[in-house]
Structure 1
Amino acid sequence: MRFFYPLLAAAAVVEAHYTFSSVLVDGKATGDWTAVRKTKNWQNNGPVTDVTSDDIRCFELSPGTAASLTANVTAGSSVGFQANPDIYHPGPLAFYMAKAPAGKTAATFDGSGPVWFKIYEEQPTVGGQSLTWSSNGLKTPSVTLPKCLPNGDYLFRIEHIGLHVAQSTGGAQFYISCGQVTVTGGGSKSPTDLVAFPGAYKATDPGILININYPVPTSYTNPGPKVFTC
């Protein structure tokens, strides 16, 4: 039996982690690793822990290798990701986008430089014995795209930060994927407050270096820029 325990432990570690493998368009999945660039954790489900690493951008297995599809989405519609198996750890969910510049498509754009803007960030419920996030346990996290978003090709980035062991530097766990989307039916309001990955976060940001266990915080500050709204 003692030889079986390591296998159980390894399985538990993988089960406790997660990936985001498929873009959801109005709740319908595009398929695993088709409109989502395959991530380094596609087999082991592990997180990024170094916010200064290029992995913090899209966690790509082979940087520069496009996904095979680019999903068509409509501004104002629901777009998200399929989580595998689900969002297991406590912490905030966020969605970012980056518009492909002239001469590039979602498939050829690497997302480098100050091009990313945030379209959603999650706040916890404060009070009681712990901070609680509504994303905990979600299998299909999604967001409504801003109706005023200009048409074009974008990288669509999901980020969930596991804060269960974030009381020491490097303890926060980032679960990240980037999808490729083409937005239609949009508006003309260009996002501001653009950031780069890496560069948007510091390991000591109060929303990254935090003890959520004891004493239980009475507030939470999300890392990164303000949310873009119409």
Structure 2
Amino acid sequence: MLPKTAVGALALFSSAPTVLAHWTYSRLIVNDAVVGAPWQYIRHHNNSNNPLTNANGTEFRCNIGAQPSETYTVRAGDELGFSVDEHFGHPGIQQVYLSKAPEGVAAAEYDGVGGWARIYSLTSAPKNASGDGSDDEEEVLTWATDNIQSFRFPLSASTPPGEYLLRAEGLALHAAHKRDNAQFYVSCAQIKVVAGNATAGARGEPGPLLPIPGMYRGDDPGVLIPVFWSYLTNYTAPGPPLWPEGTVEQHEAKVL
């Protein structure tokens, strides 16, 4: 039997990484800078840095108790992003969804009941990133999100003007080999998009659109993984096709 001091130390060691690896998205990035104070343009929820494991409730849109924030004006074609106070300490991915408020409805008044388009996906790091020359197709995956504190992505120049919810979604996979054990971290920024350099003919409504909740099921590929995460050799991110058509999944993070 271990002495009490050893048991206590073991418990502390085993629990600390779980707590420290959690995160919240509290800051919006526009082009090359963080804008505003924490939560100024992101809906402040009351879930602290805890994950969601149930994708079937309305809280899956912007998190539990999320309250309207201020709305930041951006141009179609700007580079946007999110930063966190902690770091992305769990293995997994980052994705971004966009939902347009109905005409005449401000982002602050919009509950996200409309459809959501997937506009960004950051998944596994490039294989053989170490440059060892290996061509082994069975090489296990590493993650482009590992220990970073921010990521940036382009807001398509084709994005129509209007007010939107911009939803950051982190999907942690360390327990996702068991159904309903994937961990989701979500927050919504409020943005107003004004015309960029795209011509009117180049604009198009984001899509395909899916509802939240209803976007994912517990057994969807990417939400439920076939083996423990450290044995994964390939991965398919959940969600509809990326918008605009031709947008590709990213394997390296662009950080601030």
Q: 1:75 Cα deviation (Å)?
A: 1.3
Cα distance in 1 for partners of 2:58, 2:159 equals: 26
Q: 1:159 to 1:152 in 2, by over 3 A?
A: same
Q: 1:53 to 1:93 in 2, by over 3 A?
A: same
Q: 1:12 to 1:220 in 2, by over 3 A?
A: closer
Q: 1:13 Cα deviation (Å)?
A: 3.1
Aligned residue in 1 for 2:62:
58
Aligned residue in 1 for 2:40:
34
Unaligned runs of 5+ in 1: none
Cα distance in 2 for partners of 1:38, 1:215 equals: 33
Does the aligned pair in 1 maintain the 2:43–2:189 contact within 8 Å?
A: yes
Aligned residue in 2 for 1:13:
18
Unaligned runs of 5+ in 2: 128-136, 246-256
Q: 1:214 to 1:112 in 2, by over 3 A?
A: closer
Aligned residue in 1 for 2:53:
49
SS in 1 for 2:190: strand
Residues 180-209 of structure 1: per-residue CA shift (max 9 Å, x gap): 011112442111210111101000001110
Residues 104-154 of structure 1: per-residue CA shift (max 9 Å, x gap): 1111101013x1101111242455653122122221112110011001111
Aligned residue in 1 for 2:117:
117
Q: Does structure 1 residue 77 correspond to structure 2 residue 82? A: no
Does the aligned pair in 2 maintain the 1:99–1:155 contact within 8 Å?
A: yes
Residues 135-174 of structure 1: per-residue CA shift (max 9 Å, x gap): 2222111211001100111100011100011110111111
Q: Does structure 1 residue 146 correspond to structure 2 residue 156? A: yes
Q: 1:214 Cα deviation (Å)?
A: 6.7
Bigger Rg over Cα = 2
Q: Identity rate of aligned residues, in percent?
A: 34
Q: TM-score, normalised by structure 1?
A: 0.88
| Aligned amino acid, residue 31 of structure 1 | A
Q: Does structure 1 residue 191 correspond to structure 2 residue 206? A: yes
Does the aligned pair in 2 maintain the 1:83–1:138 contact within 8 Å?
A: no
Q: 1:53 Cα deviation (Å)?
A: 2.0
Q: Which has the higher helix share?
A: 2
Q: Aligned residues, how many? A: 224
Aligned residue in 2 for 1:174:
184
Aligned residue in 2 for 1:162:
172
